[in-house]
Amino acid sequence: IAGQGAAHLLLRLVEVVPGIVYLYEPESRKLVYVSPAVEGLLGYAPAALAALRPDAAADLIHPDDRARLADGAFAVGNGTPSESELRVRSADGRWRTLRTRAIVLRPFDAQARRVLGVATDVTEGHDTRRMLERAQRLEALGQLAGGMAHDFNNILGVITGHGQLAQQLLPPEHPASTGIEQVVKASERAAALTHQLLSLSRAPSRGSRILDLNAGVDGVAGMLQRVISEDVEFDVRPAADLGS
């Protein structure tokens, strides 16, 4: 295949590449060509991107990634294939993460040098990895909270036990009886709270069981009301005559 037939074949190959193929001119800082795939991935028409001024095109790159883009352009200019990841603002305003690989078509000192590159969208992979890392952090925090709640529950057991013993040894009319009763009640409420923390930190048990949903919500609400921020309004509305 030669001449126009070869050019047509190359153009069709570029159009079916699963990524954005682009041709960039460093001197003018202009995109000479962008493949049609850019419209499906970022929402921009190829002609509209190619017509952007250099400063407007640079604004599409995340501010934290522009230095990495400059480093990649330097590497390409020195004859080294450049590979990097950049966040690019799509037409709907969201940031998409693109992995780019580019090569220089002519030596860096040539007058009409151009850079040919391919960019693929890896946003979903990054989002999945961030979700996994967040889940792992939450699991670690749950294990830490469970360990602390377990130790605290042991301490409360000692306080409750000694308080109940004191209640048995002292007559009801003793001046300290009222204070000891309050200590026992407070330690029992704290024990109930730590029990809820332990329940949250454990893996859910398998199998079905009869559940009073209102009672379950009420128990969780009692704990949440103690730990949520003061600027959060907390409202629980249990349903009347709710079946099990």
- What is the residue-wise DSSP string for 146-191? HHHHHHHHHHHHHHHHHHHHHHHHS-TTSTTHHHHHHHHHHHHHHH
Q: 196-214 pLDDT, tens per residue?
A: 777 766 656 667 888 888 8
Q: Report the predicted TM-score, pTM, of the whole model to 2 decimal places.
A: 0.48
How deeply is 55 buried, as exposed, middle or buried, from its count of CB atoms within 10 A (0-12, 13-18, 19+)? exposed
pLDDT given for residue 1 in this prediction: 45
Question: Can you tell me whether residue 131 is helix, strand or coil?
Answer: helix
The number of helix segments (H) and strand segments (E) in the chain equals 8, 5
Judge contact between 96 and 42, C-beta under 8 A: yes
Q: 64-119 pLDDT, tens per residue?
A: 887 766 665 555 666 667 788 888 888 888 888 888 888 877 655 555 577 888 88
Q: What tokens were used for 5?
A: 């037939």
pLDDT band at residue 4 under the 50/70/90 scheme: low
The C-alpha atoms of residue 89 and residue 91 are separated, in whole angstroms, by 7
Q: 151-200 pLDDT, tens per residue?
A: 888 888 899 999 999 988 888 888 888 888 888 888 888 888 787 777 76
